[in-house]
Each structure stands twice: as C-alpha cells, then as structure tokens.
Chains A and B, each alone.
Chain A
C-alpha cells in the first residue's frame, strides 16, 4: 500500500514537472525553435503578428508602428495600452528589443531576413512562411506561446462563421452566387489591382471568385494610366484607399473618366469602399473577422449569435 502510494506520488511529480517545463518544438519558415512553457513577453515585428497576439489574449511587450493611424490601428489600441513601440516594420529598433529581453519574437519572412540572426541571439524567434496566411500565423503563434487551445478555439469560431456566411450568401444571391469580385486600391499617383493578399485570401475562403484576368501569379498590378481602367472590371468591386488628399485626388480623377463609368460594377452600382486597415493592413484573425463583419453588413445578412468567450472584438457577441 505504502509502496503503491509512493509510486503514485512519483508519477504525479513527474507529470507535474513535465507540465511545468513543457517543451514544444516549433517549426517555422527559417528553422526550428524550442519553446518552454507559456511565454508572455512577446515582441511583434509586423502588423499581422500584433493582431494575432491580441486575439490570443497576449499584450506584446513591444510592437512595430502601424502603417496608418500611427502609432497603432484604432481597433487594436484598447488592448495595447502599455506597449513599447519599436519604430517601423522595415527597421525595428534592435537595441530596444534586446533590452526588453523578450521570451519570443515574431517576425516576417519578407522584412526580417537580414536581422534574423541578430533576433535569434536576443530571443527565440519564429517567422511564418506566408505573411498573408492569417490562419497559419495563428496556429504558429498559438503553438509557440503555449496557447494551442485558444488558437484552435479561434479557428473553429472562424470556420463556423465562414460556413454560416457561405450558406446565407448562397441563399441570398441565388444564381448570382458565386459572385465575381475585384479588389482595387488607389494611391497618390496610381491605382492597383490585387491578385493576391490578405483580402483576396479571405474572399477566396468565403467562396467569392476573382475575374478571369485577375487569376494570375504575383501580388497584383500597378496601373499608371487611366486607359487600363477596364482591367478593373468585375461584377462587384471592393475598393480601399487611405484617407489622404492626394489619394482622393487620384480617385476623383480616375472615377470621373468615361472608362470608369463604363465598368459593369459602376453601372450596376456595385463598387464598395471598405476600410484599408481591416481589408489590407491588419492581416490577422481579428482583421479577418472584422472583414467578415463588413461583408455580413454589406450583403444585409443576419449574423448568428455564436457563443464566444473572452471575445477580442470579432463583433459577433
């Protein structure tokens, strides 16, 4: 009996010690990293990682500045009150990162390749393979921070919402579904069509289709001449642009061109202006959910009240 209790105690102790020092090997784009326990001190070096950290219930110790609404997008600000800013995504302040001695750094493959060796000297660093794949980013960060359960919960919620949206929009649009949509933007001196990217990935997942001519390799195309306006055509156009007078002037000039008025989306009044932060810059699970909220509202679909605990602004509860 005594011996039995002793064995049980040893077993319990060893289980406890394993739990306390749980080591996960996380594979990422630039290699493997061993993570222990549930790190809280996280440094985010790009926008999607900041969004995802907040979704996982973590306030990073330091983040890079946002591209607009500086220093941080309004939708993330309430969760990032005590955060340290590291400057721009392209050249984050390495000294400050080192001095904060973080437990984990999340960087981007297209921006932080050259500083990756330095980052690994500072703290374990993970780099997701594709910056537009917010689901892979969520899975990676959930694993690296020991929050896999939360990550799976968020993904399950997302998938349930996608399923619901697809059912409802099919019912609403009937034989108009799947709808062909284009994603365009205006800059100070040109316009762009996106063939890939965050918004396109979400729309693809929801079942929207891209116009034949937009199903190409690469991120998209810059249009510098108004003669190329017809290339934008689709049944519906989602348009986002920054709040900037120069951008507005470009848009005014292009949208008063006869070719613009000849687009089928314009004739059917199916050009919709959406928030660039949600559709193009947030690039995390929260931004994806907010984009879906936009689409529910836009198509006048009713959102089901899904039970959600510890919600971080997905807007459904």
Chain B
C-alpha cells in the first residue's frame, strides 16, 4: 500500500525517499491551488474574463486592466498563498514540537507578540507614523516573545510542556496590553489596528511579496531537511536520543523556524488566526505520514484556506472589502468541528 520511490545520486551520497501517496496528494493540492489562484485573479469588483487575465499575464501593457490584474490582484493572490502556507507549516512544526494538537502560533503567544508590537507601533506613530516599519516591528515582537517563552520555560533544555504553559500565559498578558493600547488610541489609529488584528490582505503590493518570500525560501527547505528529527521526537525523548538526534538543538531550531514562518506571515498580513491550528489537522486527516511529508500538504492547505477567505472578503460584499481573517474562521471552524466529529466516530 505504502509505495515509496527512492531517488539516489551516483555513489549513494544523497538519497531522497518519496512516498507515492504524499506525492500524489501534494501534486493534487498544488494543482487545485493553481486553478484557484487563476480563478481569484479573474474575479474582482471589475468583471474580467479568463482570456483578459491570460492576455494581461502573457503581454503586460499599460492599461487599466493590466494595472488591476498585475498590480492590484496578483500581489494579493500571491500574498494569500505565501501567508497561508507559512502559517500552515508553522502550525505543523509547533504541534509536532510540543506534541500537542492544540498548539499553534496564535495559542502560544507568537501572534500575540507580533500584535502587541504592531499596535504599540501604530499607537506611538499615531497618524503621522509611516507604515513602512510596521512589518519589521511586528516580526521583532514575535521573536521577542519567542525568546521570552524559551527563557522562562528553560530548565536544562526546552520542555515542550512548559513551553505551552508559559506561551499561553504570555499570550494572555500580551492580549491585555493590546487591548489597553487600543483603548488609549484615537479612532483612526484604533481602526487601523483592528483591521491589522483581524488580518487583511487588502492593498498587498509587490514589495510585500518580495519582502516575505525570502523568509519562506530559507525556512521551507530547512524544515524539509530537518523535520525527520521531529518524527524521532514523537516517539519519546529517550527514543530520539537513542536514534542519535540532538534533542535540544533541534527543538531550538524548530522553534526558530516556526517563529520565523509565523512571524513573517503575520507581520505582512496581520494577525490571521486559525490557519496554524486547522491546516495541520486537515493535512493529517488527508494522509498518515511523517512530518516531512505533511509539511507541503499543511502549507498547501493553509494557502488554499487563506486564498478562498480573501477571495470571499474581496468579492462577496462589493464594493466593500472585508478582512480575510473574518472568513478564515468562517471556513475553518465548521471544518474543525467536522474533523472532531469524525475523530469521535471513527477513532484511528
């Protein structure tokens, strides 16, 4: 049943083991994502046909149509794919790391750290502050919180259990700080902050795409190479050590990877929640595999969720443009309930 392909370089220096089912599921999801992206590119408040979209993609020219498709829709669709993918994979890594299916960037405080930093920045800057530094500041907040959690949870190494508890505590404290800052802010700042906190891809531009992409280009391959150590850890600390996996070093690496993925995504799209929690679960329901195989699947599912959530926010209430974060929960929550229901009826 579990066919595997093994690709080897001459001399057996490098080899890659590919599970056929993982490959099939990944390619199917990738195809679905590609089709959905074109669909999203072709719809918006100004009606455009597929031929017009393909024409604009093939031969960019100076026209309103090209501006709409290439400068307004395209970066937004790409950001949905990248941010969703980053959150989905960050959730998978965190859930594996703390061996708890309820862990996710928004639960253990990473998103809260980014949010508090972003709202603080908006509050200090008021209406005169530029938004250029918003993303780096939010990212800094995510890393600062991760550092705090690690330091506080450190007891001769990272204990996953303590990591979750400290994270949840810090998240609660930071949410309080965010609320306080919102109360102190004037209306227009508070409104900007609320949109950021819901998570919106409105007005995504090419510079956002080029700023976010490098993080993923570094993090994803690194995660693919290293995630097999998470499988070893899943069998227990002693087993992982027995198999020759550097337990604490890898835990630290995975934490940094998860923070970098979730932090960069949240920094550019705002505090989109839920994807980090739900995408790994959906991936695991699709197939049973190690973390390496689940990574692309969780990422693709995350991309699909955010792409459709943003598409609904953009198209369903024209001319109003609603934050994608609203619909992520709308799509994700029913699915989550369904998953739990299935899990109860059909354990295993």
Contact = CB atoms under 8 A, between A and B. Distances in A.
B203 interface: yes
A269 B115 CA distance: 46
A9 B127 CA distance: 53
Interface residues on A, range: 20 to 34
B61 interface: no
Contacts of A88: 320-321
Contact of A118 (B45, B128, B130, B205): B205
Given A90-B191, A93-B45, A98 B319 contact: no
A105 to B, nearest CB: 13
Nearest to B69: A95
Nearest 7 pairs of A and B residues by beta carbon: A110-B127, A87-B319, A93-B319, A87-B320, A91-B321, A219-B186, A115-B203
A70 to B, nearest CB: 11
6 contacts: A85-B319, A88-B321, A91-B322, A93-B319, A96-B46, A110-B192
B186 A218 contact: yes
A95 B188 contact: no
Interface string A92-109: 111110110100000001
Interface string B46-87: 100000000000000000100110011100000000000000
B71 A118 contact: yes
B127 A98 contact: no
Given A87-B318, A90-B195, A93-B318, 5 more contacts: A91-B203, A93-B319, A98-B68, A98-B72, A118-B72
A98 B130 contact: no
A217 B284 CA distance: 55
A98 B71 CA distance: 10
B202 interface: yes
A252 to B, nearest CB: 23
Contacts of A222: 183
A224 B71 CA distance: 44
A119 to B, nearest CB: 10
B72 A86 contact: no
Nearest to A222: B183
A17 interface: no
A218 B73 CA distance: 37
B200 A91 contact: yes
A224 B179 CA distance: 14
B44 interface: yes
